[in-house]
Chain A
Amino acid sequence: MSNVPAELKYTKSHEWVAVDGETATVGITDHAQDLLGDMVFIELPDVGTSFEKGDDCAVVESVKAASDVYSPLSGEVVEVNEALADNPEAVNNEPYASWLFKIKMSDTSQLNDMLDADAYSGVAADDSH
């Protein structure tokens, strides 16, 4: 059973978002890291890059496969978690502490389209078998 914190928002493509004012912190879920297995490389976007909601903006590469991370929201990257370059396994060990990047949202109304913890738990359960 994967961990799905109640205070976060989620996408169907297994990203999580923590909101603080206009800034959204983005990572991948416990379910996603469990599906992918041990992380070996993480490729993060450049600070200052703008993305539209749904754009591929990062890559998490595990022993099993490389997987795109999609921006859950539109906006500009204001910070990336550079510590992950030397410690990609942190995403396996602490998926909700090991954020990938922070975005300054250009349209906070997009948050209304995101999944809450209950809805995401359903998505994760559906693709576990």
Chain B
Amino acid sequence: MGKQTPLYDKHVVMGAKMVDFGGWDMPLRYGSQIEEHHQVRKDAGMFDVSHMSVVDFTGTDTRQFLRKVFANNVDRLTTSGKALYTCMLKPDGTILDDLIVYFMDENWFRVVFNASTHDKDLAWVKEHAKPFNMEIIEPPNMAMIAVQGPNARAKVGAVFDEPIRSEIAGLAPFTAAHFGDLFISRTGYTGEDGFEIILPASQVNDVWRSLYGEGVKPIGLGARDSLRLEAGMNLYGSDMDETTSPLESGLGWTVAWEPEGRDFIGRAALEKIRNEGTTHKLVGLILEGKGVLRNHQKVIVKGQDGGEITSGGFSPTLGKSIAFARVTKDISGTCKVEVRGQQMVATVVKLPFVRNGKSVQ
């Protein structure tokens, strides 16, 4: 038996098939995974993401500390509520985790880490925080719901009273607002508009029930994965990990090289990798024939072993199988993928596959 979120009983009552995810018992799907996927693309769905780690960094040295441990530069955050996506690197330039950091005020930044990396992340930041005047606090008994889809914002608005309702209606993309213990950001992991809501565990069942009353359907991890794959968003542990750098993971854009003097952890190694040139890159693939691309299938580029699929699956929006693959840089046009003993043709495409409900391929 794994760890349970405060919504565990709700998932069971709603008929969810539960699976282990990073030590947590989480809903895989409640009914049809493909219908859940379309629900988010066409209307609104909600995800229990309470397994993710909310960590507050407070104190006068917080900004200096985060400039050191994150590859993106928190100096880009100057207004309250603004969010930044970044990797946290090891000295060798490989990726410890990817995360979103929110600027709350000059002495308070909030970070949402992945669930499966919680222990190593906390150990890492605590170790490196020692020389800094700051505190690392995990607010206890928190829960988190993501509400995503073209109608998500309106439906979330309907479950909160004024002035929260008006304030979140005006939230710009990739910003957050907080109201005491309630924290709402216009972020997500689906390629759709929507919010992520962090709130006390004692309130999450009521909010979940109210959202359901507004027609927001529960969505499991299965559809969460196909939605993020279509949206071109990486999954830690599949598309990147402690053996890969951002530069071969499609995340070069998240590395802030300027100013040159900012000596973030991993910088020297990453500069070396950049100067010597990477051999592999992360690309999108669409399978032309019938079949499904799966993680770790072999990719053949120009007749040679060219790498492998890092995340594959069926795209309900495209009606075809899609994937991310880490492949040799000479790839162009098409490649072949070994699918169940057969070599099948796949087309190399720019990410994402889907944006705001529509295929962009």
A41 and B292 in contact, given A63-B222, A63-B314 (Cβ under 8 angstroms): yes
Q: A61: which B residues are within 8 A, CB to CB?
A: 291-292
**How far is A37 from B226 in the complex, measured between Cα atoms in Å?**
14
Contact code string B284-302 (vs A, CB < 8 Å = 1, else 0): 0000001110100000000
Q: In angstroms, how far is the closest chain A Cβ from the Cβ of B29?
A: 7
- A88 nearest CB neighbor, chain B only: B290
A63 and B226 in contact, given A38-B33, A38-B34, A92-B32 (Cβ under 8 angstroms): yes
Q: Are B290 and A43 in contact (CB under 8 A)?
A: yes
Q: In angstroms, how far is the closest chain A Cβ from the Cβ of B41?
A: 15
Whether B340 sits at the interface, judged by CB under 8 Å, is: yes
- A43 nearest CB neighbor, chain B only: B290
Listed residue (A37, A59, A65, A92) with the most chain B CB atoms within 10 angstroms of its CB: A37
Q: Are A66 and B340 in contact (CB under 8 A)?
A: yes
Chain A interface, number of residues (Cβ within 8 angstroms): 13
Q: Are A63 and B291 in contact (CB under 8 A)?
A: no
Q: A38: which B residues are within 8 A, CB to CB?
A: 32-34
Contact code string B27-69 (vs A, CB < 8 Å = 1, else 0): 0010011100000000000000000000000000000000000
Q: A40: which B residues are within 8 A, CB to CB?
A: 34, 292, 314, 321
Whether B313 sits at the interface, judged by CB under 8 Å, is: yes
Q: Are A63 and B34 in contact (CB under 8 A)?
A: yes
Contact code string A85-128 (vs B, CB < 8 Å = 1, else 0): 00001001000000000000000000000000000000000000
**How far is A65 from B293 in the complex, measured between Cα atoms in Å?**
10
Contact code string B262-305 (vs A, CB < 8 Å = 1, else 0): 00000000000000000000000000001110100000000000
Q: Are A41 and B34 in contact (CB under 8 A)?
A: no
Residue contacts A-B, CB under 8 angstroms, 6 given: A37-B32, A41-B292, A43-B290, A63-B292, A63-B313, A66-B340
Q: Which 3 A-B residue pairs are closest in the complex by CB-CB distance? A: A38-B34, A40-B314, A41-B290
Contacts A37-B222, A63-B313, A63-B314 known; 17 new A-B pairs at CB < 8 A:
A37-B29, A37-B32, A37-B33, A38-B32, A38-B33, A40-B292, A40-B314, A59-B340, A63-B222, A63-B226, A65-B294, A66-B291, A66-B292, A66-B340, A89-B32, A89-B34, A92-B32
